A = this chain, B = another copy of it.
Amino acid sequence: MIERFDPLKGERLRILDEAGEPRSDLDPGLPDTELRTLYERMARTRAADAKALKLQRQGRLGTYPPSRGHEACQVGLASAMGRDDWFFPYFRDLGMYITLGYPLADYYHLWMGNEAGLRTPDGLNIYPIAIPVGSQIPQAVGAGLAARYRKLPIAVVTTFGDGATSEGDFHEGLNFAGVFRTPNVFFCLNNQFAISVPRTRQTASATIAQKAVAYGFPGVQVDGNDVLAVFAASREALANARIGGGPTLIEAYTYRMGDHTTSDDAARYRSKEEVQEWERKDPLLRFRHYLGKKGLWDEAYEKSVQDEATAFVEDAVAEAEARPVATLEDIFAYTYAVTPPDLAAQLADLKAFAGEGRR
């Protein structure tokens, strides 16, 4: 399916139009329960995101990059992944984490600035969030190389923004992937901004998908607010990767509905009208229309979904806030496999001044 949409011809893969009407030749044909699962994951993601913003305003959580508008990208991609696939995230991936089963309490913990939330639970193939933009991309390729070397039938996914495509690491990573035909799926959330810099000032290529031409593998642009399109493209790219078909670049065309982070004020650099226009393309709304047409959505269902999402989120907050802050020992414990004497001495010195607050 991916090959039918050539970014050089300006083609974009979309299954649902804004009214939720599907293109039947492309519909991935998911069973009803799975369709509802997609919706529920998106709803959870939105609820968890809204809660993080609220916690931040209350001083209970640190600087936070909201995900609103990206639910279809994140849930569509993660839902297509298998348990054995690997994921190399960036910093705006809430729906990925929720869908892949990362405990939300741990995720909140991290953004609360507590070391205790840093450890990916065993059994989850999720690398830690990369804050330096683009730096996770060559790492994902290395994991792909390792998978190939070990003959594992898995795919390795990495996500990043439109801004990240300007970094050298994007280029070096994708070039490696092309040369070694690694089982990677490169998923760009093109949300039109890198903080204040609009996509058109980020790169002069008409699409991001077409950058794959430079690396000798396919690239496709999908409607990032259409969860079915994201799911279908991801599923195909992942399957292709797993069977040794090489990497794919997916550009999800979407919009960052919120500020860049809670420290940002997007009103400084973009118009209300633009934001409003994208409100109409809301991925949840669109999918709700689709489910409605299929008789899978009504008000009662919506209420149950929202209630469940609220409970899910509140439980996570309670759990995260109940955990103590990391101890000094914990902060010093993971610099080396075996802590050298110097460092042990520093810890001992510091404990002489222990307690809360800067000393």
A residues near B, CB below 8 A?
A: 8, 166-172, 175, 178-179, 181, 201-206, 210-211, 213-217
Contacts and interface: CB of A to CB of B under 8 A. Distances in A.
Contacts of A215: 203-205
Contacts of A179: 201-204
A172 B171 CA distance: 9
A203 B211 CA distance: 13
A260 B203 CA distance: 34
A213 B210 contact: yes
Contacts of A171: 166, 168, 170-172
A178 B166 contact: no
Given A167-B172, A204-B178, A204-B179, A213 B216 contact: no
Nearest to A210: B213
Contacts of A206: 216
A169 B166 CA distance: 10
B214 A210 contact: yes
Q: Which of A202, A205, A215 has the most CB of B within 10 A?
A: A205
B166 A172 contact: yes
Nearest to A169: B168
A211 B211 CA distance: 8
A203 B213 CA distance: 11
A202 B179 CA distance: 7
Given A179-B201, A179-B203, A204-B179, A213 B168 contact: no
A188 to B, nearest CB: 13
A183 to B, nearest CB: 14
A213 B205 CA distance: 7
6 contacts: A8-B213, A166-B171, A167-B172, A168-B169, A204-B215, A213-B214
Nearest to A178: B204
Nearest to A246: B204
A214 B214 contact: yes
Given A166-B175, A179-B202, 12 more contacts: A8-B213, A166-B171, A167-B172, A168-B171, A171-B171, A178-B205, A179-B201, A181-B204, A204-B215, A204-B216, A205-B213, A205-B216
A201 B175 CA distance: 10
A202 B178 CA distance: 9
Contacts of A178: 203-205
Contacts of A201: 179
Contact of A168 (B168, B204, B210): B168
A206 B178 CA distance: 11
Q: Which of A168, A178, A206 has the most CB of B within 10 A?
A: A168
Contact of A217 (B170, B172, B204, B211): B204
Nearest to A197: B179
A170 B215 CA distance: 14
Nearest to A166: B175
A205 B216 CA distance: 4
A217 B203 CA distance: 11
Contacts of A214: 203, 205, 210-211, 213-214
Q: Which of A206, A213, A215 has the most CB of B within 10 A?
A: A213
